[in-house]
Chains A and B, each alone.
Chain A
Amino acid sequence: MMIQEVRVTNLPELPDSKGEKILYDINNALGIQSVEKVRTARVFRFEGISEEDAEYLAQKLLAEDVFQEYRINSPVLEDADVVLEVAYKPGVMNPEAASLLKSAADLGVKGLVAADSSWNYGFYGSNISKTDIDRIVNSLLVNATVEYVVREKPKTLIIQGTPGPTEIIPIRKMNDNELLNLSQDKLFLNLEEMKVIQNYFTSIGRDPTDCEIEIIAQTWSEHCVHKTFKAKLIVDGKEKEPLFQRLKEATEEIGHPLVLSAFVDNSGVFEFYDGLAICGKVETHNSPSAIEPYGGAMTGSGGVFRDIMGTGQGAKVLASTDMFCFAPPWMPQEEIPPGCLHPHYLLRRVVDGVKDYGNRMGIPTNNGSVHFHRDFRAKPTVIVGAYGILPVATCRKGSPKPGDLVVAMGGRTGRDGIHGATFSSGEMTDRTIEVNASAVQIGHPIEEKRMFDAILAARDEGLIRAITDCGAGGFASAVGEMGSKTGACIALDRAPLKYPGLAPWEILLSESQERMVLAVDPANWERLQEICRNYNVEATVLGKFTDDHHFTATYEGRTVMDLDMEFLHNGLPQRVMQAAWKQPSLAEPEVEPPWDWGELFARVLGHLNVCSKEPIVRVYDHGVQGTNTLPPFDGVNGDGPNDAAIITPVYGKPYGMIIAHGLNPVLNIINPYYGSLWAAAEATANAVACGANPAEMALIDNFIWPFPDEESLGALDLAVDACVNFSRATGMPFISGKDSLSSTYRGKDGKVIKIPPVLCISVFGRIPDITRTVSADFKKQDSQIVLVGYRNTGEMAGSVYYDLLGIVGSNLPKIDPVALTRVYKALHRAINTGKVLACHDLSEGGLAAALAEMCFGGGLGATIKIDEAEKAEFFLFNETAGCFLVEISQNTDPAETFGDIPWTVIGKTVPAQFITAEQRGETLFSLNLEDLKEAWQRPMKEVFRS
């Protein structure tokens, strides 16, 4: 069939802001100066319609003559020196295609069978070389995993295919080598596990189908079953309880009265007010983001939102958080390992993905952080969190009853993300991008948004018995897990497909996004369908929950899978794993005192781990839903950062929900126990600094760790102990968590890069009255500035100050969670009584950075005195978490305010726009706020061109 092409550009006299952005990146990120101008054009293709209809669509839909012009079946940007077109690869779902079909139908255009869209780029400059273009294409415009340069007009836009047959895998006859070959690159199981599968099929007297072997591999993958966290550990020769067990037991022992659901559902649930509950979940999406950062980050967001939606009988998503770790964005290309993408590209594309998913869903992204360390050059860490609200009455995980329908809802099933679960569990290698290209896809937030709208409507009518998201492992995981206590039988050929040609095992395992599975009483099916139709959502009965404790699947009437649920879920042998952490040999050096305070202060503020992340925050819609009452930035110029987000989920009520987090990869390298305590302290200090009650908050853990060899597992063991000890000391329970143990890169030459172990602690809780909370910006002049909390300023290891000197150090902050709890209680009391005007916790960059940020927010200067017994640079740049700078009015008595916890009045706020420090009667420095702010804001402004 004929394909019509419509190309649309801005009128030549008008600016092209997309082109200008690309030009900036070409000139700055790539350092290519031969390109002088970039113009862009949209390309639309329509199959099955006439040229007249294409013209009609151009006029009515595609181009607006106020600012654009169009061409039918002819090129645009002809005056450019180089023109190329970039499109999604055939088979990668382009979300815009469905809209083109819809509008064409709305406009009465008949006969359209397929549509697609892409971009033309025109480059201007007489000296542009082929090498320049290749670099622009490969580093900026095209991610070869999902996109390609269109060299000739496609012959058809229709994706065709016939499904492959269901194969029998002759596993019973395989020797060890053959078993390992079967596992490699596909199943990611070890020999022992492969043998358990072999034995099972030997015992039932037949060989498995591809569906069966795939679903076992998927169910048993590290990603889904968390073998390491459930393993019996031998630490330094002594047996210890499994990691997961320790966390769970601590929560049970604490017995927090507000915990409604911990570790059993898709998110942890905590009581709120007025019969409502709040819930939280944090996920990692490192592996997909490493190879396709835009799609990876999008599907990370989409997945964690579905975890919230799949809690209880459905929850509304209120907020999203994102925490990233990358290598420095200006790292030379030759230092990036083969098969890995450059951090400058990764950072921007991950931010784009989070932005496009969250903003379109209408979920505010209002808390997050970005950390940089060169060892993330082989694989970034991408963490996304989501929080929701739901009625207490329907907040507990539902269980399907035999006879309930298995309903698939939302997006269609395609060849997306096949092997995502198993792939995420493997190490990253230089072949990862090639082999696992199918494991990422482009998210479709609008599909998810309308599905959520429909689910909430169905929940409110009581139509949902149980619900879960289709994440890793697709239908296999969702249905298998929901029906694990009953049994389930599904017909794979009933699943609506994006395009024909999927084999049964692909339908079963596909990780196509924006799908959920529901257990629905047959009596409610008709009404559910009606709701779905109104919201333009597809819902399909795949089969039934049964009472035979088997997971059965058919395809065109044939049984392609019949597995015992017991074997599937409990057949995996518990691992026994050895763990032994080795103390790294790190020296604690003698450090020369600084000689240029101005330069030093500016360098600390401009350090990537301290600098302002405002350009990132501004592209996230952190105000949608109208719930934000403590935004990421506020103050006289709107650029002073806050420690946490506070939202008001119920309009017109004073109830607040606090959301914060903490992580620090550097400290875990020095000592995973104290590094992890630091992360937990930082997370909770961020919340308490804003006025949250330490007795009314819950924790979420995310361990992003290198592949668990003996040493890394030893570090993990210590990190979990730190979490457990912290939880018991503070009384804050862990109620959700996740581990991702694949942060290892193995190069072709056998070179191994262990990505720094990351523990991200997230915290959320409730606040009865948001008017009793504080922000970080200084409020008025002549206030007292009080330093509150326990710290030993000699503990400088892992600090930004040391990093600037090229040192790591060994003496890191050792936080005592018992003492910390006392500080939290006293500070919360002080804020609750209204005596605190502003509060900011100390973290990266130490007291100096916290002070500067409070000054930026308040538009005020500060004068401080440093005790003569202190080393000034340690006093200023020590990074002990759980310490605070607090602003109280000049008439407020600090002794009465803070009681018996350590506090020191270090200075006062002043109208002059300077930060001045004195010690032993001498002025150490007096630095202009404007210069400091410039240094603090510059790095991300450069990366993001803002």
Chain B
Amino acid sequence: MKKPRVCVLRTDGINCDEETFYAFEKAGAECKMVHVNQIRSGSEKLASYQILVLPGGFSYGDDVHSGKILAVELTSFMKEQLESFVEANKLVLGICNGFQVLVRTGLLPDRKIGQIKTTLMANDSSHFECRWVNLLVERSHCVFTRGLEGSLLSIQVAHGEGKFYTDPVTLQEIENRGQVVFRYAGTDGRPTVLYPANPNGSLNAIAGICDSTGRILGMMPHPERYVERTQHPNWRRMPADTVPHGLAIFKNAVDYARQS
């Protein structure tokens, strides 16, 4: 079967590109590193890919707001390409900085480029935080989490601006439409707003959301850092046949792209 093609979008300061590349390849995709400049110059086109991933990092130093400078660049130069990409029912994944970019382009939550309705603020602790957290997978339309609903994933977060925030009306809309994909949870599996299980103070413990179609996913935690058993800090305490928790997210994306 033909491997789905993944565009791993890079630019100045993106730094989780290689592990994201590896995660998708391991899940069965064919990846290419594409620099934003290649799209701006026209030497690469989004249309050649089935999946677009915006990896983590500090695009342009996270100057002004995290992900903002890249979001401005994408909405200024790639608006049409992005719109036709999502209209073609293709998949978009934004991880950490990529999630920040997606909310700042407006692709999340409503797929309306230029309309910023949600944001990711500085963590309540006011500092960068790198730790493993429990993620409760919500029931949603999200194609990336098919079959994972209700499970608890152990995934690492690493960010300083990850507090999901929006106005009460939008929050209710997102909740009602089942757009919340992940929530930070305690060891008991219940969503929590308490630090450090909720590392940033996100509203409703939200760690990741999708658009109404479930084909655009943004999440602060880093599933690409857990696609091998030995990447988990406690793999020595776990059974040897443990399946790494991040891998299914990439496999779901690859499976979906392969079928469509």
Contact residues in B for A709 (Cβ distance below 8 Å): none
The chain A residue with its CB closest to the CB of B200 is A17
Contact residues in A for B26 (Cβ distance below 8 Å): 652
Cα A362 to Cα B38 in complex, Å, equals 22
Say yes or no for B256: interface residue by CB 8 A criterion: no
In the complex, chain B residues 52-68 whose Cβ is within 8 Å of any chain A Cβ = 56-58, 60-65, 68
Say yes or no for B48: interface residue by CB 8 A criterion: no
Partner of B73, one of A96, A106, A535, A945: A106
Please choose the segment from B175-183, B210-218, B228-236 that sits at the chain A interface, where 4 or more of its residues have CB less than 8 A away.
B228-236
Contact A619 B128 (CB under 8 A): yes
- What distance in Å separates the Cβ of B36 from its nearest Cβ neighbour in chain A? 9
Contact flag A362-B16 (CB < 8 Å), given A102-B60, A623-B225: yes
Contact residues in A for B61 (Cβ distance below 8 Å): 95-96, 99, 360, 444-446
- What distance in Å separates the Cβ of B83 from its nearest Cβ neighbour in chain A? 18
Say yes or no for B207: interface residue by CB 8 A criterion: no
Residue from A18, A106, A770, A945 with most neighbouring chain B CB atoms (10 Å): A106
Contact B125 A946 (CB under 8 A): yes
Contact residues in B for A634 (Cβ distance below 8 Å): 233-234, 236
In the complex, chain B residues 3-60 whose Cβ is within 8 Å of any chain A Cβ = 10-13, 15-16, 18-19, 22-23, 26, 35, 37-38, 56-58, 60
Contact flag A64-B116 (CB < 8 Å), given A446-B12, A534-B37: yes
Contact residues in A for B204 (Cβ distance below 8 Å): none
Contact A446 B60 (CB under 8 A): yes
Contact B15 A449 (CB under 8 A): yes
Count residues on chain B whose CB falls below 8 Å from chain A CBs.
Answer: 63
Contact A638 B131 (CB under 8 A): yes
Contact A17 B158 (CB under 8 A): no
Count residues on chain A whose CB falls below 8 Å from chain B CBs.
Answer: 70
Contact B35 A61 (CB under 8 A): no
Contact A629 B18 (CB under 8 A): no
The chain A residue with its CB closest to the CB of B63 is A99
Say yes or no for B151: interface residue by CB 8 A criterion: no
Say yes or no for A626: interface residue by CB 8 A criterion: yes
Contact B116 A66 (CB under 8 A): yes
- What distance in Å separates the Cβ of B233 from its nearest Cβ neighbour in chain A? 4
Contact B63 A95 (CB under 8 A): yes
For A625-646 the 0/1 string (1 means CB < 8 A from B) is: 1101101011110100000000
Contact A106 B72 (CB under 8 A): yes
Say yes or no for B117: interface residue by CB 8 A criterion: yes
Contact B130 A620 (CB under 8 A): yes
Contact B116 A446 (CB under 8 A): no
For A96-136 the 0/1 string (1 means CB < 8 A from B) is: 10011011001110000000010000000000000000000
Contact A99 B15 (CB under 8 A): no
For A527-546 the 0/1 string (1 means CB < 8 A from B) is: 00000011110000000000
The chain B residue with its CB closest to the CB of A18 is B126
Please choose the segment from A191-199, A481-489, A772-780 that sits at the chain B interface, where 4 or more of its residues have CB less than 8 A away.
A772-780
Say yes or no for A223: interface residue by CB 8 A criterion: no
Contact A623 B12 (CB under 8 A): no
Partner of A624, one of B12, B23, B126, B158: B158
Say yes or no for A67: interface residue by CB 8 A criterion: yes
Contact residues in B for A36 (Cβ distance below 8 Å): none
- What distance in Å separates the Cβ of A8 from its nearest Cβ neighbour in chain B? 9
Contact B22 A626 (CB under 8 A): yes
Contact A775 B158 (CB under 8 A): no
For B84-124 the 0/1 string (1 means CB < 8 A from A) is: 00000000000000000000100000000000111101111
Contact B116 A638 (CB under 8 A): no
Say yes or no for A21: interface residue by CB 8 A criterion: yes
Say yes or no for B237: interface residue by CB 8 A criterion: yes
Say yes or no for B255: interface residue by CB 8 A criterion: no
Contact residues in A for B122 (Cβ distance below 8 Å): 17-18
The chain B residue with its CB closest to the CB of A775 is B236
Contact B13 A103 (CB under 8 A): no
B interface majority secondary structure: mixed
Contact B130 A62 (CB under 8 A): no
Say yes or no for A73: interface residue by CB 8 A criterion: no
Contact flag A103-B15 (CB < 8 Å), given A21-B126, A626-B231: no
Contact residues in B for A12 (Cβ distance below 8 Å): none
Say yes or no for A771: interface residue by CB 8 A criterion: yes
Partner of A362, one of B15, B64, B128: B15
Say yes or no for B156: interface residue by CB 8 A criterion: yes
Contact flag A66-B119 (CB < 8 Å), given A102-B69, A449-B13: yes
Say yes or no for B76: interface residue by CB 8 A criterion: yes
Cα A64 to Cα B118 in complex, Å, equals 9
Contact B126 A20 (CB under 8 A): yes
Contact A103 B69 (CB under 8 A): yes
Cα A943 to Cα B126 in complex, Å, equals 14
- What distance in Å separates the Cβ of A580 from its nearest Cβ neighbour in chain B? 48
- What distance in Å separates the Cβ of A750 from its nearest Cβ neighbour in chain B? 42
- What distance in Å separates the Cβ of B212 from its nearest Cβ neighbour in chain A? 19
For B162-188 the 0/1 string (1 means CB < 8 A from A) is: 000111000000000000000000000
Say yes or no for A60: interface residue by CB 8 A criterion: yes
Cα A730 to Cα B237 in complex, Å, equals 32
Say yes or no for A361: interface residue by CB 8 A criterion: yes
Contact A96 B37 (CB under 8 A): no
Contact B38 A623 (CB under 8 A): no
Contact residues in A for B128 (Cβ distance below 8 Å): 355, 359, 619-621
Cα A623 to Cα B233 in complex, Å, equals 10
Contact A779 B158 (CB under 8 A): no
Contact residues in B for A623 (Cβ distance below 8 Å): 130, 156, 158, 222, 225
- What distance in Å separates the Cβ of A734 from its nearest Cβ neighbour in chain B? 31
Say yes or no for A651: interface residue by CB 8 A criterion: yes
Contact A99 B60 (CB under 8 A): yes
Cα A323 to Cα B64 in complex, Å, equals 31
Cα A774 to Cα B230 in complex, Å, equals 12
The chain A residue with its CB closest to the CB of B230 is A629
The chain A residue with its CB closest to the CB of B12 is A450
Contact B76 A106 (CB under 8 A): yes
Say yes or no for A648: interface residue by CB 8 A criterion: yes
Contact A107 B76 (CB under 8 A): yes
- What distance in Å separates the Cβ of B167 from its nearest Cβ neighbour in chain A? 7
Say yes or no for A618: interface residue by CB 8 A criterion: yes
In the complex, chain A residues 138-156 whose Cβ is within 8 Å of any chain B Cβ = none
Cα A638 to Cα B232 in complex, Å, equals 11
- What distance in Å separates the Cβ of A629 from its nearest Cβ neighbour in chain B? 5
Contact residues in B for A618 (Cβ distance below 8 Å): 129-131
Contact residues in A for B156 (Cβ distance below 8 Å): 623
Cα A100 to Cα B69 in complex, Å, equals 8
Say yes or no for A622: interface residue by CB 8 A criterion: yes
Say yes or no for A573: interface residue by CB 8 A criterion: no
Partner of B13, one of A61, A360, A629, A638: A360
Cα A96 to Cα B13 in complex, Å, equals 13
Contact B38 A626 (CB under 8 A): no
- What distance in Å separates the Cβ of A584 from its nearest Cβ neighbour in chain B? 41
Contact residues in A for B118 (Cβ distance below 8 Å): 66
For A713-733 the 0/1 string (1 means CB < 8 A from B) is: 000000000000000000000
Cα A10 to Cα B119 in complex, Å, equals 12
- What distance in Å separates the Cβ of B156 from its nearest Cβ neighbour in chain A? 5
- What distance in Å separates the Cβ of B196 from its nearest Cβ neighbour in chain A? 8
- What distance in Å separates the Cβ of B105 from its nearest Cβ neighbour in chain A? 12
Say yes or no for A522: interface residue by CB 8 A criterion: no
Contact B234 A635 (CB under 8 A): yes
The chain A residue with its CB closest to the CB of B43 is A534
Cα A636 to Cα B154 in complex, Å, equals 13
- What distance in Å separates the Cβ of A44 from its nearest Cβ neighbour in chain B? 8
The chain B residue with its CB closest to the CB of A642 is B233
Contact flag A446-B58 (CB < 8 Å), given A635-B234, A770-B230: yes
Q: List 19 A-B contacts (CB under 8 A).
A: A17-B122, A17-B124, A66-B117, A66-B118, A102-B73, A106-B77, A362-B16, A444-B61, A445-B61, A449-B15, A535-B12, A618-B131, A621-B130, A624-B19, A624-B158, A626-B23, A626-B228, A629-B235, A770-B230
Q: A67-B119, A648-B228 are in contact. List 6 more A-B contacts (CB 8 A).
A: A67-B121, A533-B37, A621-B158, A634-B234, A652-B228, A779-B237
Q: Which 4 A-B residue pairings sit nearest by Cβ, starting from the closest?
A: A362-B15, A626-B19, A99-B63, A17-B126
